[in-house]
A and B are shown apart, each in its own frame.
Chain A
Amino acid sequence: MSKSSGRTFFLRPQDMIGIAILAFILLVVLPLALDNFRLQFVGKYLTYAFVALGLVLCWGYAGILSLGQGVFFGLGGYCMAMFLKLEASSVENTKIQTTPGIPDFMDWNQITALPWFWEPFKSFAFSTVAVVLVPAFFALILGFALFKRRVGGVYFAIITQALAAIMTILIIGQQGYTGGINGITDLRTLHGWDIRTDSAKTILYFVCVGLLLACILLAFYVKSSKLGRILVAMRDKEDRVRFSGYDVASFKIFVFCLAAALSGIGGAMFALQVGFMSPSFVGIVPSIEMVIYTAVGGRLSILGAIYGTLLVNWAKTSFSESFPELWLFGLGGLFIAVVLIFPNGIAGLWQSYIAPRLGPLFGGAARRTTPPAATPPAAPSSGTAAPAAAE
Chain B
Amino acid sequence: MSSKNDPTNTFSATRRKLLMGIAALPAVPVLASTGLFSTPAQAQAPATSAVNTTGLAVTDTEVTVGILHSVTGTMAISETGSVQAEKLAIEQINAMGGVLGRKIKFIQEDGASDWPTFAEKAKKLLVNDKVAAIMGCWTSASRKAVLPVVEQYNGMLYYPTFYEGLEQSKNVIYTGQEATQQILAGLDWVQKTKAGKTFYLIGSDYIWPRTSMKIARKHIEGHLKDSSVVGEEYFPLGHTQFNSVINKIKLKKPDVIYAAVVGGSNVAFYKQLKAAGIDLNKQTLLTISVTEDEIDGIGGENFAGAYSCMKYFQSLDNPNNKDFVAAFKKMWGEKTVIGDVTQAAYLGPWLWKFTVEKAGSFDIDKIAEASAGIEFTKAPEGYVKIHPNHHLWSKTRVGLAQPDGQFKVVFETPDLIEPDPFPKGYQ
Which A positions have Cβ atoms within 8 angstroms of B?
37, 40-41, 44, 96, 98, 105, 108-110, 169, 172-173, 175, 180-183, 185-186, 196, 274-276, 278, 280-281, 317, 320-321, 324-325, 327-328
Contact = CB atoms under 8 A, between A and B. Distances in A.
24 contacts: A37-B124, A37-B127, A98-B427, A108-B166, A108-B210, A109-B210, A172-B206, A172-B236, A175-B205, A175-B210, A180-B205, A181-B205, A181-B207, A181-B237, A182-B207, A185-B148, A186-B147, A196-B152, A276-B148, A278-B141, A320-B112, A324-B108, A324-B109, A328-B72
Q: Is the interface of A mostly helix, strand, loop or mixed?
A: helix
Contacts of B144: 182-183, 185-186
Interface of B: 71-72, 108-110, 112, 114-117, 119-120, 123-124, 127-128, 140-141, 144-145, 147-148, 152, 164, 166, 205-207, 210-211, 214, 236-237, 422, 427
A317 B120 contact: yes
B16 to A, nearest CB: 34
Contact of A37 (B71, B119, B128, B166): B128
Given A175-B210, A276-B148, A325-B71, 17 more contacts: A37-B123, A37-B124, A108-B211, A169-B236, A172-B206, A182-B141, A182-B206, A183-B115, A186-B144, A186-B147, A196-B152, A276-B116, A281-B116, A321-B109, A324-B71, A327-B72, A327-B110
A172 B237 contact: yes
A81 to B, nearest CB: 12
A320 B109 contact: yes
Contacts of A96: 422
Nearest to B235: A173
Residue picked from B166, B211, B422, most chain A C-beta under 10 Å: B166
A87 to B, nearest CB: 15
A196 B122 CA distance: 15
B84 to A, nearest CB: 12
A82 to B, nearest CB: 17
Nearest to B129: A321
Given A37-B124, A325-B71, A180 B110 contact: no
Contacts of A281: 116
A280 B72 contact: no
Contacts of A278: 115-116, 141, 145
Contact of A105 (B123, B127, B207, B237): B207
A108 B207 contact: yes
* Nearest 9 interchain pairs by C-beta: A324-B110, A182-B141, A181-B206, A37-B127, A185-B144, A182-B144, A186-B148, A325-B71, A324-B108
Nearest to A317: B120
Nearest to B113: A280
A182 B116 CA distance: 10
A175 B144 CA distance: 14
A175 B108 CA distance: 32
A275 B71 CA distance: 24
B145 A180 contact: no
B200 to A, nearest CB: 20
Contacts of B164: 108
B140 A182 contact: yes
A181 B210 CA distance: 12
A180 B148 contact: no
A193 to B, nearest CB: 15
Contacts of B112: 320
B17 to A, nearest CB: 36
Given A173-B205, A278-B116, A320 B110 contact: yes
Nearest to A168: B236
B116 A274 contact: yes
A182 B205 CA distance: 11
A109 B422 CA distance: 14
A327 B205 CA distance: 30
A282 to B, nearest CB: 12
Contacts of B207: 105, 108, 175, 180-182
Residue picked from B114, B115, B117, B123, most chain A C-beta under 10 Å: B115
Contact of B124 (A172, A321, A328): A321
A321 B71 CA distance: 12
Contacts of A317: 120
Contacts of B205: 172-173, 175, 180-181
Contacts of A320: 109-110, 112, 117
A196 B214 CA distance: 33
Contacts of B114: 280
Contacts of A182: 115, 140-141, 144-145, 206-207
